[in-house]
Homo-oligomer: A and B are copies of this chain.
Amino acid sequence: MPHKMTRQQQKLKTRRSIIDAAFNLLDEQRSLSSISLREVARAAGIAPTSFYRHFKDIDELGLTLVDEAGLALRQLMRQARSRIDAGGGVIHTSVNTFMEFVVSNSNEFRLLLREHSGTSPAFRAAVLREIQHFIEELSDYTASHTGMGRQMASLQAEAMVKLVFSAGAEAIDASEVQRLAQAQRLIQQLRFIAKGASFYANKAG
């Protein structure tokens, strides 16, 4: 029973329920471009026209969702880094953390995955920014921890992130045991890259 609420608080609460409703609609069968304004409004418990009090478009809502999902992803990265510093292999820890994210925030990850190759240029660009961010941080980490040249580190990080996302795409529909097997494969593949990159770094800079 909410006792009192300022107007702004109430508005924020409604906005949140719109966002949450949209996320819940984004299950394995729906994408941003296939959910309608009315559908979201219905799920959020407001009139269709009230939607406009919060977002000018369905696209504006979509960008908000991408941002939120990207934020969750960045939080994951921080979490992974702290675990690494606490011990445990870099690759192993990162992969496990990532897989946890895919499972526990599956709708968020699905959104990023889908809109990465979706129909909206704006959404694609937004997701790409998130991934670039991801690559950059990993690249910095690698460069500073291995003394590898920046260009090599960047190549390695890009390849790794792409593999991780691909694996995540498969993991999202997989069972627990399939996911574990996939994680093992991924870890080995990332080691290929790490090994190969360090080889070429020592050889040709």
Q: B-contacting residues of A (Cβ < 8 Å)?
A: 28-31, 33-34, 113-114, 116-121, 124, 155-156, 158-159, 162-163, 165-166, 169, 173, 185, 188-189, 191-197, 199-200
Contacts and interface: CB of A to CB of B under 8 A. Distances in A.
A2 B137 CA distance: 62
A161 to B, nearest CB: 9
Contact of A163 (B31, B118, B159): B159
8 contacts: A116-B117, A155-B188, A156-B192, A192-B195, A192-B199, A193-B193, A195-B199, A196-B199
Copies in the complex: 2
A117 B119 contact: no
A65 to B, nearest CB: 16
A84 to B, nearest CB: 21
A94 B171 CA distance: 28
Nearest to A188: B155
Nearest to A169: B117
Contacts of A194: 196
Contact of A31 (B118, B124, B195): B118
Q: Which of A34, A156, A196 has most B Cβ within 10 Å?
A: A196
Contact of A159 (B30, B34, B189, B199): B189
